């Protein structure tokens, strides 16, 4: 879904929490859009990887959620909103290798404790607002360099 | 190394990407943990994995990888192959185990050179 307002593009995605096979579908769609916009490959990769890790996190930790992506000529902003359990200790969650993921999730190839560190690494700005028991809002900003 | 040389080196069966056989592959990454794959950007790389799900292909797509090799005789289902077709990624299956598959490719001249973004 998209709509034009001024010079910016807006896209909205629902991320189902009960179907792991679909995890990453929204990120794939966003990547296609960024490619069509002709952005440089490094910018596309930075947003794609950050968003993909965030989307996977939503599915494995929070029962899904919603993703809003805004693109203007300066930056791409992705806001991931979920109503899951929240993150108890964000500093700890940011540490490489730390994870609360179950063995089942690890069996799916995730839960190595690299999700948030990767998101931090590839984004230009990462903002995490979380409330235990209420949910988490993650904002990923990637600047567009021409 | 070309994708067809990877196929030949690993005695692998190509399942998707007949049109990609002449595509050049510069580096390789072997892992079953996708976040570890996502931690390092590689240029025109092949992913060697025993993880048999759609996310193995999606992870490769996010990284602009060109080929995924499933080891230990694992055969991806049609749903996985479809994601590969949509993303223009070659897929093959080999009976070699992970260590052997990586070793054969390394011996044939492929390295794990990578760079951070």
A41-62 and B54-62 helices cross at what angle (nearest 10)? 150
Range of the domain at B72: 3-107
Q: Which residue has the tokens 């929070």?
A: A62
Q: How many domains does chain A have?
A: 1
CATH value at residue B29: 3.40.1390.20
Is the pLDDT confidence value at B117 over 50? no
For residues B57 and B47, the answer to whether their CB atoms sit within 8 Å is: no
Residue A14 CA to residue A3 CA, distance in Å, equals 16
Q: How does pLDDT run along chain A (146 residues), one tens digit per residue?
A: 555 556 799 999 999 998 888 899 999 999 999 999 999 999 999 999 999 999 999 999 999 999 999 999 999 999 999 999 999 999 999 999 899 988 888 988 998 888 999 999 999 999 999 999 999 999 999 999 86
pLDDT of residue A3: 52
Predicted ipTM?
0.86
A115: distance to nearest CA of chain B, Å? 6
Helix, strand, coil % in chain B, rounded to nearest 5: 40, 20, 40
Kindly list the strands in the beta sheet with A125-131, ordered across the sheet, starting from the edge strand earlier in the chain: A2-5, A8-16, A64-71, A75-82, A135-143, A125-131
The answer to whether residue B115 sits within a structural domain is no
Query: In which band, very low, low, confident or very high, does the pLDDT at B116 lie, cut at 50, 70 and 90?
Result: very low
Give strand pairing partners of B13: B93
Host H or E run for residue A66? strand A64-71
Q: How far is CA B48 from the centre of its chain?
A: 5
Q: Among A97, A15, A89, which residue's Cα sits nearest to residue B33?
A: A97
The answer to whether residue B113 sits within a structural domain is no
DSSP helix/strand/coil, A136: strand
Residue A120 CA to residue A53 CA, distance in Å, equals 10
Q: How many domains does chain B have?
A: 1
- Give B28-59 pLDDT, tens digit per residue: 999 999 988 998 877 789 999 999 999 999 99
R_g (Cα) of chain A, nearest Å:
15
Question: Is B55–A31 a contact, with Cβ atoms under 8 angstroms apart?
Answer: no
The answer to whether residue B96 sits within a structural domain is yes
Query: In which band, very low, low, confident or very high, does the pLDDT at B95 lie, cut at 50, 70 and 90?
Result: very high
Range of the domain at A47: 2-143
Query: In which band, very low, low, confident or very high, does the pLDDT at B112 lie, cut at 50, 70 and 90?
Result: confident
Q: Which residues of A touch B62 (CB under 8 A)?
A: 24, 27-28, 31, 45, 48-49, 52
CATH value at residue A49: 3.30.565.10
Rounded alpha-carbon distances, angstroms, from residue B102 to A109, B29, B81, B84: 19, 8, 22, 21
Q: Which residues of B touch A101 (CB under 8 A)?
A: none
């Amino acid at each position: 879904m998209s709509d034009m307002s001024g010079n910016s593009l807006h896209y909205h995605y629902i991320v189902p929490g009960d179907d792991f096979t679909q995890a990453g579908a929204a990120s794939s769609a966003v990547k296609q859009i960024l490619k069509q916009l002709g952005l440089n490959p490094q910018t596309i990769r930075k947003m794609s990887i950050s968003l993909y890790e965030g989307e996977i996190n939503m599915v494995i930790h929070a029962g899904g959620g919603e993703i809003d992506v805004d693109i203007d000529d300066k930056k791409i902003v992705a806001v991931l909103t979920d109503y899951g359990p929240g993150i108890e200790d964000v500093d700890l969650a940011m540490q490489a290798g730390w994870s609360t993921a179950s063995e089942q999730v690890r069996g799916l190839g995730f839960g190595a404790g690299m999700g948030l560190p990767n998101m931090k690494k590839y984004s230009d700005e990462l903002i995490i607002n979380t409330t235990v028991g209420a949910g988490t809002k993650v904002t990923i900003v990637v600047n567009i360099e021409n | 190394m070309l994708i067809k040389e990877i196929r030949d080196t690993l005695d692998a069966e190509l399942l998707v990407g007949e049109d990609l056989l002449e595509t050049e592959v510069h580096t390789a990454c072997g892992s079953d943990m996708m976040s570890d794959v996502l931690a390092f950007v590689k240029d025109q790389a092949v992913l060697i994995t025993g993880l048999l799900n759609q996310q193995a292909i999606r992870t490769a797509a996010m990284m602009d990888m060109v080929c995924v090799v499933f080891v230990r005789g694992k055969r991806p289902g049609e749903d996985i192959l479809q994601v590969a077709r949509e993303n223009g990624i070659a897929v093959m299956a080999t009976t070699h185990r992970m260590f052997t598959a990586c070793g054969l490719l390394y011996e044939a001249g492929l390295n794990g050179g990578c760079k951070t973004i």
